Amino acid sequence: MVTRLSALQAIFVLLVLSVSQARCESGALLSKLQGIPPCTELLNVARANGIPLDGVDALSEAAKLKPGDSITALVILNQKGKRITQWLLYLQATASQPLAATNTRRIVMHSATGSKHEFVSTPGPVTLRTLGPFDASPRKRALQRQDKTAQFTLDQGFLALGLDNAAVALMRLRQSGVKGSFGFSDRPFSESAIAKTLKTTKPVQLTADEERALAGSVPALMSYFNIVQRTEGLSDILFELIDLPSMWSMLQKGGVNAGFRFVNENLGHGDHGAWNIPLPVYNLPLVLELNKHRALDITFVATAPRPPLLPCAGVVALLAEKPGQKDTYLTLRLLSARRGTH
């Protein structure tokens, strides 16, 4: 049986790029992400606790966290019967202590083209406060609200890779009209797989920077979802949205083989004005596959991961939907991003 934690960890073993054609529906995406405002009770609790609810400070060129950097995010679970539940997340960077060289992390990603990409990161200490749940439904329910604080470290070097450059590379690949796929893994690909991929991608002439951007999206996503796992109750909620493969499939394969696949549905430029961001914003959709079964649809809205947007890898919003149940979904959107004053 797959546990919640193991499922979230396994999804980054293989990331596959699909270059099939699809139509963009950015208006519908924006409506889902911004259609529900924070409820009054949540707003009152945030103000009482001095948690900022709006404003994005000027973006910095720095590549590391600064003590006091903070992001505030709103999480909404929309379920059948107009059941709307909200949580407030407040993440803040804290003062770092002298770090040993052994604290440096390295991740190596292999491409199906035969290339290898190495990424390095150092930890950045943060605190994450989770308040909720708050009931925003038309018919109120009795919910037991909690106030939880977790302390951990972010892989700031991996978060700084972001998803924006990967989105640009994917958009160019879509324009090229090439059909096929290639992947990135933590293990080298076979010679036959490499030969097949090189034949498929030859007409595209993928640049080294584009391939590195696509490979770098894997550690960036891993680090982003590390925050999800640290958020009280959020990983459990996300897991409930996953459409698990059949028991027969899990028995046949001896467990669950998981991977992400980029898709073109909703891929494209986002509305940076809607997110109060002075830089280009991109809609980047992925599918979580378990044993080649479509288990979860995820769309990121991302920009450059420059502080104070570094802790969220430049992700300003996320939509997670259970396949075939579009009225049950989870959204996470940025409310505020502030640069520390220390």
Catalogue the E-assigned strands of the chain: 14-18, 70-79, 83-93, 105-111, 116-121, 123-135, 146-155, 181-185, 258-262, 268-269, 282-290, 293-302, 315-322, 325-338
Cα atoms found within 13 Å of the Cα of residue 49, Cβ hemisphere only:
16
Contact 236, 4 (CB under 8 A): yes
Q: Average the pLDDT over 230-240 and give the result.
A: 77
**Per-residue pLDDT, 322:** 87
**Per-residue pLDDT, 14:** 45
The number of residues making up the chain comes to 342
- Among 205, 220, 203, 130, which residue's Cα sits nearest to residue 166? 220
**Per-residue pLDDT, 37:** 94
Single-letter code of the amino acid located at 82: K
With residue 210 as reference, give the H or E element that holds it.
helix 208-230
Q: How many CB atoms lie within 10 A of CB 308?
A: 24
Cα atoms found within 13 Å of the Cα of residue 236, Cβ hemisphere only:
3
- Do you find a cis peptide bond into 133, omega within 30 degrees of 0? yes
Torsion sign over Cα 263, 30, 304, 294: negative
The CA-atom distances, in angstroms, between 88 and each of 38, 74, 85, 150, 269 are 9, 5, 11, 14, 27
More confident residue, 196 or 89: 89
**Per-residue pLDDT, 13:** 40
Residues sharing a CB contact under 8 Å with residue 296, sequence separation 6 or more, in sequence order:
238, 241, 242, 243, 287, 288, 320, 321, 322, 323
Question: Does residue 4 have a pLDDT over 70?
Answer: no
**Per-residue pLDDT, 21:** 45
Question: CA 9, CA 222: separation in Å to the nearest integer?
Answer: 8
Tell me the per-residue pLDDT of 208-219, one tens digit each, with 9 for 90 and over.
999 999 999 989
Tokens 């929309």 correspond to 78
Question: Does residue 319 have a pLDDT over 50?
Answer: yes
Read off φ and ψ for residue 33, nearest 5 degrees.
-75, -35
Question: Does residue 255 have a pLDDT over 80?
Answer: no
**Per-residue pLDDT, 252:** 54
**Per-residue pLDDT, 184:** 87
Q: Average the pLDDT over 121-132 and give the result.
A: 94
Question: Does residue 250 have a pLDDT over 70?
Answer: no
Tell me the per-residue pLDDT of 33-92, one tens digit each, with 9 for 90 and over.
998 999 999 999 999 999 999 999 999 887 788 899 999 999 999 988 788 999 999 999
Tokens 């972010």 correspond to 154
Report the chain's mean pLDDT, rounded to a whole number: 83
Question: CA 322, CA 295: separation in Å to the nearest integer?
Answer: 7
